[in-house]
Amino acid sequence: MLSGEAVSLGQARAINSFLVENKDNKEFQVTELIVHDCLISDQDLTVVLEGVLAQAKLKSITLSGVGLSEQSCELLCTAFAIQTVTDSVHTVNLTNIKVQQKHLLKMLESLTEGLKLQHLSMNGLDLGGLVDSMAIINAIHKLIVECFSLCELNLRGCSMSGNEFVVLSQGLKENMTLRNLDLSYLDLSFTLASKQSYVNAFLENITEWIGSSE
């Protein structure tokens, strides 16, 4: 666990070396990675990820408040693709990450293809700052519909347009496995008369989904 501290390249390399050297040590297997609000560069994070993924035993990944480079995202996609009976990532927390849209899309696609994901948190996702935010919503919609193992989804504090709210809720209507949903502090400021219908449709879909889950 790396939390609230600065990580140098030397430290990152030391962590990498230790993990690689012990990748076959059954008494020392890393199944959970937590990097929370660290002062860590893209390069250093990539070095740490390479070491952790060398063991191919990860089940839970938390990357909160950090920036993800293209290389880091590619490594994560590789981790999400590891799907065996005993080795598969089932919990992913990407709260307040800083990442380019195209890389975020690839990660969502990898998670959907894996079909093993159970818990996903993407709190604080600012879709309003993306060039094509609907592409991200469509990817989340696909994950909700096609990932039959998904039982928890957290989108706390995310911002979306009225139309994106509706697309998201349509995906929820088609999901039969989700048991925990956090949509608290969503940016629902799009309640002007011209967009009131979107909000109404969103609430209707959510209500229908809740009713079908009882």
* 106 or 210, higher pLDDT: 106
pLDDT digits (tens, 9 = 90+) for 14-41: 776 777 776 676 667 777 888 877 777 7
Q: Give the pLDDT score at 193.
A: 52
pLDDT at residue 86 is higher than 60:
no
Predicted pLDDT at 120: 92
Answer whether residue 48 is part of any domain.
no
Does the residue 22 lie in any domain?
A: no
- From CA 109, how far away is CA 106, in angstroms rounded? 5
| Distance between CA atoms of residues 89 and 59, nearest Å | 4
Q: Is the pLDDT of residue 3 over 70?
A: no
| 26 assigned to some structural domain | no
Whether residue 54 is contained in a domain is answered as no
Residue 152 has a pLDDT of: 93
Tell whether 203 is covered by a domain: yes
CB contact burial 151-185 (16+ within 10 A = b; e otherwise):
bbbbbebbbbbbbbbbbbbbbbeebeebeebebee
Cα-Cα-Cα-Cα torsion 176, 180, 186, 190, nearest 10 degrees, comes to: 20
Tokens matching residue 85 = 């009976």
Domain annotation covers residue 118 = yes
**Which run of H or of E encompasses 61?**
strand 60-64
Question: What range does the domain containing 101 cover?
Answer: 60-213
93: domain CATH number is 3.80.10.10
Query: What is the pLDDT of the chain when averaged over all its residues?
Result: 78
Residue 65 within a domain? yes
Distance in angstroms (rounded) separating the CA atoms of residues 18 and 60: 20
Lowest-confidence range among 11-25, 41-55, 69-83, 127-141? 11-25
Pure H helices in the chain: 9-21, 42-53, 70-81, 101-114, 133-146, 162-173, 196-213
Q: Which pLDDT score, from 0 to 100, does residue 121 have? A: 93
List, for residues 137-183, the tens digit of each pLDDT value. Answer: 888 888 888 888 889 999 898 887 777 778 888 888 888 888 888 88
User: How many structural domains compose the chain?
Assistant: 1
User: In which residue are the tokens 């996609």 written?
Assistant: 77
What pLDDT sits at residue 93?
A: 92
Q: 18 lies in a domain?
A: no
